[in-house]
Amino acid sequence: MERMQQVVWRARAAFNSGRSRALEFRMQQLKALKQMLQEKEKDILAAIRADLHKSEPNAYCHEILGLLGELALVMDKLKSWAAPQPVKKNLLTMRDEAYIFPEPLGVVLIIGAWNYPFALVIQPLIGAIAAGNAVVVKPSEISWNTSQLLADLLPQYLDQELYPVVTGGVSETTELLTQRFDHILYTGNSTVGKIVMAAAAKYLTPVTLELGGKSPCYIDTDCDLAVACRRITWGKYMNCGQTCIAPDYILCNPSIQSSVVENIKAALQEFYGEDVKSSPDYERVVNKHHFRRILGLMEGQTIAHGGEVDEASCFIAPTILTDVSPESKVMEEEIFGPVLPIVTVDNVDEAIEFINRREKPLALYVFSNSKKLIKRVISETSSGGVTGNDVIMHYLLSTLPFGGVGNSGMGAYHGKHSFETFSHHRSCLIKDLKMESTNKLRYPPGSMKKVNWAKFFLLKRFNRGRVGLVALVLLGIVAALVLK
């Protein structure tokens, strides 16, 4: 406990020194992060490979490329994001200065996840640094190699007092959560998300929870199945299915179920060849615990394709399950692995009803030649995000906030949304000490004459041009004389 207190205390003392607030300092730290990504690329890729059996091209695309894009965007826009934002004024405040000032929250805790162990730490860290905060970084202990690398690299490139790294498992995270933070961002499952939120409640600490859930994928009968299934196959089996916004299950009409299976099989052949196990592009389940958990979900199901496993290497072949019952075990929890159940529904109405009976997912996917149908599904369901006629791609657009809703999380980040998540939007109004007579409207004693003038000033829409300003001055003089 004392160690965690010291870590957080040092971070808070560093934040209170004020050095993280300066834009020049923030930019310097962001540039240092970019330098780290470039200079230590090989080390980063090696750690990710050791944790997830991921090839260098895949690891670079999944974990580094997006961060470089995020850094470029943030460094380009930070000055404008951090500037005071003027707001519209009413007649009573027309002469005053009114603006929103983004200020740092303070000391932030970022708890990363193991499935993308580097990116899911560094991406929110970029936003927190940009907003001027101190940040305590807690990588996932499950991705041990990447966790140790982060603990080694970040102090070499960033301010060690402002951005400490804490490694360890459940006990260390539990101790961290007893400390007071000004914001907590957690990526993981809803069970731990509830623990994080309960701990944060002690200090009324705001949280961003990036959780998961069973993200549905509806395929309409009016659809190019070859294209749809290729895109679904890519998103589902990437990272061995260990992606929080991967399609968790397919909903489709029984008449196209066999065609969906055949098209997915063709895409798997295209992506991974005859021997999936030897493909450099196919990852492994992170550990034996999750390997056995996924096998348990497959018990009693009809395997239309795949099903081969090797516990020694935590290999599970890309698997398709057909005619899956909505009440089966595999439909009760997020799969987070390379197993794709197909549940049949008669039409889009039944698909919408099916989705709405369950917890709100982190993502929702619809494939159809009809954009009207896609927008209907969007309007009649709820999810963290939606992509029509593709999967996962909404995550890659930095102008879209990434986050969940309900059981799949709360809050959002990416791009400017990260800066806003880690900032307090402070309301500022600066007046002068002149024209005091106009303030008699709000001073006792009250009267209906004052109420009528107040209604005019507060409710009247007024031209802000030169004529409007002249009229405003005249009205102020009139009001002052009348109220005397």
Q: Which residue numbers are catalytic?
A: 210, 244
Indicate the DSSP class of residue 281: T
Enumerate the β-bridge partners of residue 100: 85, 427
Tokens of 312: 């020694």
Tokens of 399: 């102008």
Q: Which residues contact 396 (CB under 8 A, 6 or more apart)?
A: 66
Q: Which residues contact 156 (CB under 8 A, 6 or more apart)?
A: 36
Indicate the DSSP class of residue 98: E
Report the distance separating Cα 294 and Cα 268, nearest Å. 20
**In this structure, are residues 95 and 430 in contact, taking their beta carbons and an 8 Å threshold?**
no
Report the distance separating Cα 409 and Cα 270, nearest Å. 35
Report the distance separating Cα 224 and Cα 123, nearest Å. 35
**In this structure, are residues 261 and 303 in contact, taking their beta carbons and an 8 Å threshold?**
no
CA 238 from centre of chain: 19
385-388 vs 409-410, strand pairing mode: unpaired
- B/e letters for 110-119, b = 16+ CB within 10 Å, e = fewer, are bbbbbbbbbb
Helix, strand and coil content of the chain, in percent to the nearest 5, comes to 50, 15, 35
What single-letter amino acid sits at 466? R
For residues 114, 116, 119 and 123, what is the CA-based torsion angle, rounded to 10 degrees? Answer: -70
Q: Which residue has the tokens 């004693």?
A: 445
What single-letter amino acid sits at 190? S
